[in-house]
């Protein structure tokens, strides 16, 4: 057995670490099993340089490390430590990462005098992992076993059959969870295998978490915690489904009145405007990402594709176009994403709210909702397209909402800011 004693301090450069210390670290981090893979998680969390907020390894680099090293039988941890040594990283830089992981065994190898925070100091001797306590006062880092306990081992049977699966989207499946006190939560488990290899899922998840952590708003879904080990987010459970299902009256729900449609549109605009005011673009605004609370308060979800931009006026060119096509602003196809892309997508959501029609229907003339609406004879013709389920409605309000929506789906330059959209919709709820 190798000695785990180290003579280093927090300021020791990684490249000066003794080989035996690195080997001991590798001994605990290289372990891989069905539930965890510590070196991968470690790699996904290390910054590019000391103090940098950018990550050093993206998914492709991690996969490359895995393939290269597995073939040669080398240790991934040793290779990562060597790599980090070249950018003058010190012991304290990786201790920060290990603290996030809660990997105190590894920290003790580097700094034997390190005192483990008391709540973590007691190892759980129970084989049966307890269902976690509900605590929304801070963000919780769940272990995978805890997430398993929350979701009855990701019971994939539908809710109606007594299972836990709420649904599934492009990036993962969502399960109902229960904390110890019976408070519900929604656990979004992200698939890694079905992702576009261009998309860095760990970064995406971290981004989603970071975003939600700092953004608290009545119209955004709350995050209770996450599990990086196996890519899960633990979110506030929003009981009334999403707007897309609700407009289609799925699950025999009663139709949305015109009044509640105005209020849902306004609340959603408020949530997106809040994101924009905090320099975030959502990038996947759609009715399926607007959840409804019991009192029909809309909550925006799925910030995985949010990108932080330096200020409201810049646009970011990316070769990576992610999104749902019928909602996608035309300029996004050229990789040009800006806040105005969200405004466009929201304009499409407003059309869904007015007409109750699906965004894409191959049997409809024009196929997608925007083309169909653009082919209407004149602006007044929208009245004939109002969702019959929203009757009775206020004609002036329909025209007003349609006017806002039409401006949102114009050419990028002509589109309003989300702030204006929100204010115009809010004025409909509370006329001066
Ligand atoms: N916090 C939550 N509370 C309750 N239901 C939720 C929650 N988050 C998601 N859901 C539901 O889970 C289902 C799957 O959501 P998911 O986000 O995976 O799919 P999507 O929105 O259709 O597609 P995408 O992956 O593009 O976001 C949807 O029906 C959604 O309404
Ligand atoms: Mg979603």
Which atom of ligand 1 is nearest the CA belonging to 241?
31
- Candidates 163, 129, 133; CA nearest to 146 is 129
> Mean pLDDT in the chain?
82
Can the peptide bond before residue 228 be classed as cis, meaning omega within 30 degrees of 0?
no
Q: How far is the CA of 112 from the centre of ligand 1 (A)?
A: 44
For ligand 1, what atom is nearest to the CA of residue 236? 1
Ramachandran sector of residue 138 (left: φ over 0; alpha: ψ -120 to 50; beta: rest): beta
Average the pLDDT over 372-378 and give the result: 83
Cα of 177 vs centre of ligand 1, distance in Å, is 14
The mean per-residue pLDDT over the stretch 65-94 comes to: 87
Task: Determine the distance separating the centroid of ligand 1 and the alpha carbon of 158, expressed in angstroms.
Answer: 14
Distance 393 CA to ligand 2 centre (A): 29
Neighbour-count burial of 200, counting CB atoms closer than 10 A to its CB (0-12 exposed, 13-18 middle, 19+ buried): buried
Average pLDDT over residues 321-334: 75
Give me the pLDDT at residue 365, please.
76
Measured from the Cα of 291, ligand 1's closest atom is 31
What number is the average pLDDT over the span 357-382? 84
Tens of pLDDT, residues 203-262: 656 666 666 667 889 999 988 888 877 778 899 999 999 999 999 998 778 899 999 999
Question: Is 253 part of any known ligand binding site?
Answer: no
d(CA 326, CA 279): 24
- CB count within 10 Å of CB 94 equals 24
Chain segment 187-220, per-residue pLDDT in tens: 988 764 444 445 555 665 666 666 666 788 999 9
Average pLDDT over residues 40-59: 77
Cis peptide before 392 (omega within 30 of 0): yes
Output the residue whose Cα is nearest ligand 1's atom 4.
Answer: 238
Answer left, alpha or beta for residue 124, where phi above 0 means left and psi between -120 and 50 means alpha.
Answer: beta
Render the burial of 312-323: b for 16+ CB within 10 Å, e for the rest.
eeeeeeeeeebb
Distance CA 203, CA 262 (A): 36
Write b or e for each residue in 218-228: b if 16 or more Cβ atoms lie within 10 A of its Cβ, otherwise e.
ebbbbbbbbbb
The reported pLDDT for the residue numbered 431 is 66
Higher pLDDT, 340 or 37: 340
**pLDDT tops 70 at residue 316:** no
**Shortest-distance ligand to the CA of residue 221:** 1
Based on the residue annotation, tell me whether 284 is a catalytic residue of this protein: yes
What pLDDT digit, counting tens, does each position of 137-159 carry? Answer: 777 888 888 998 999 888 888 88
* Percent of the chain whose predicted confidence (pLDDT) is above 70: 81
Average pLDDT on 258-271 reads 97
Residue ranges around ligand 1 (CB below 6 Å): 166-172, 174, 186, 221, 235-238, 241-242, 284, 288-289, 291, 301-302, 324
The least confident of 78-87, 118-127, 300-309 is 118-127
Q: How confident is the model at residue 319 (pLDDT cuts 50, 70, 90)?
A: very low
Q: Of the ranges 48-57, 264-273, 402-411, which one carries the lowest mean pLDDT score?
A: 48-57
Closest-approaching ligand to the CA atom of 224: 1
Instruction: Note the pLDDT of residue 100.
Output: 72
Which residue in 30, 93, 284, 342 is the catalytic one? 284
**How do residues 118-141 score in pLDDT, each as one tens digit?**
644 444 444 456 788 888 877 788
Q: Whose CA is nearest to atom 10 of ligand 1?
A: 174
Bigger pLDDT: 227 vs 286? 286
- Whether 401 has a pLDDT exceeding 90, the answer reads yes
Nearest alpha carbon, ligand 1 atom 16: 169
Calculate how far, in angstroms, residue 244's C-alpha sits from the geometric centre of ligand 1. 11
* Model pLDDT, residue 396: 94
pLDDT at 287: 96
Test site for ligand 1: of 151, 166, 328, most ligand atoms within 8 A of the Cβ = 166
- Grade residue 59 by pLDDT with cuts at 50, 70 and 90: low
pLDDT score of 51: 76
> What is the distance between the alpha carbons of residues 206 and 226, in angstroms, rounded to a whole number?
9
pLDDT reported for residue 120: 43
Average pLDDT over every residue of 329-355: 92
Band the pLDDT of 22: cuts 50, 70, 90.
Answer: very high
Ligand 1: which atom is nearest the Cα of residue 221? Answer: 1
DSSP of 325-366: GGG--GGGGGTEE-HHHHHHHHHHHHHHHHH---SB-TTSTT
Residue 360 confidence (pLDDT):
87
Separation of alpha carbons 263 and 430, rounded Å: 10
Out of 159, 190, 291, mutate this one to test ligand 1's pocket (max ligand atoms within 8 Å of CB): namely 291
Q: State the DSSP string of 1-37.
A: ---------TT-BGGGS-HHHHHHHHHHHS-B-SS-B
Closest atom of ligand 1 to CA, residue 301: 8
For a mutational test of ligand 1's pocket, the pick from 187, 287, 302, i.e. the residue with the most ligand atoms closer than 8 A to its C-beta, is 302
Q: Contact, 349 vs 285, CB < 8 A?
A: yes
């Amino acid at each position: 057995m190798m000695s785990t004693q180290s003579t280093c301090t927090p300021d020791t450069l990684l490249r000066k670490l003794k080989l035996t210390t690195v080997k001991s670290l590798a001994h605990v981090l290289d372990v891989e099993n069905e539930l965890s893979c510590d070196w991968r998680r470690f790699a996904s969390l290390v910054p590019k340089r000391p103090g940098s907020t950018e990550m050093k390894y993206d998914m492709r680099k991690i996969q490359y490390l895995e393939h290269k090293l597995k073939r040669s039988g080398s240790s991934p941890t040793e290779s990562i430590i060597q790599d980090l040594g070249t950018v003058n990283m010190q012991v304290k830089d990786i201790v920060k990462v290990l603290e996030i992981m809660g990997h105190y065994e590894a920290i003790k190898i580097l700094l034997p005098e390190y005192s483990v925070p008391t709540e973590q100091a007691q190892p759980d001797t129970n084989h049966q992992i307890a269902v976690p306590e509900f605590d929304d006062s801070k963000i919780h880092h769940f272990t995978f076993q805890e997430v398993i306990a929350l979701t009855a081992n990701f019971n994939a049977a539908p809710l109606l059959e007594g299972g836990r699966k709420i649904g599934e989207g492009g990036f993962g499946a969502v399960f109902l969870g229960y904390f110890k006190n019976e408070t519900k939560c929604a656990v979004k488990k992200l698939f890694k295998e079905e992702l576009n290899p261009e998309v860095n899922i760990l970064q995406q998840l971290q981004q989603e978490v970071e975003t939600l952590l700092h953004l608290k708003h009545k119209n955004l879904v709350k995050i209770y915690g996450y599990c990086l080990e196996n890519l899960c987010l633990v979110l506030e459970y929003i009981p009334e489904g999403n707007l897309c299902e609700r407009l289609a009256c799925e699950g025999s729900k009663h139709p949305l009145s015109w009044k509640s449609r105005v209020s849902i549109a306004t609340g959603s605009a408020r949530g997106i405007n809040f994101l924009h005011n905090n320099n975030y673009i959502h990038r996947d605004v759609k009715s399926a990402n607007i959840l409804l609370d019991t009192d029909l308060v809309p909550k925006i979800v799925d910030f995985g594709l949010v990108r932080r931009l330096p200020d409201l006026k810049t646009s970011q060119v990316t070769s990576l176009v992610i999104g749902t096509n019928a909602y996608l602003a035309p300029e996004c196809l050229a990789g040009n994403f800006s806040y105005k892309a969200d405004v466009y997508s929201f304009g499409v959501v407003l059309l869904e709210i007015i007409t109750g029609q699906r965004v894409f229907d191959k049997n409809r003339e024009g196929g997608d909702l925007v083309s169909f609406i653009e082919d209407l004879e004149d602006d007044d013709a929208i009245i004939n397209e109002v969702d019959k389920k929203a009757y009775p409605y206020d004609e002036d309000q329909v025209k007003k909402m349609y006017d806002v929506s039409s401006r949102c789906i114009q050419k990028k330059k002509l589109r309003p800011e989300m702030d204006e959209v929100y204010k115009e919709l809010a004025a409909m709820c509370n006329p001066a």
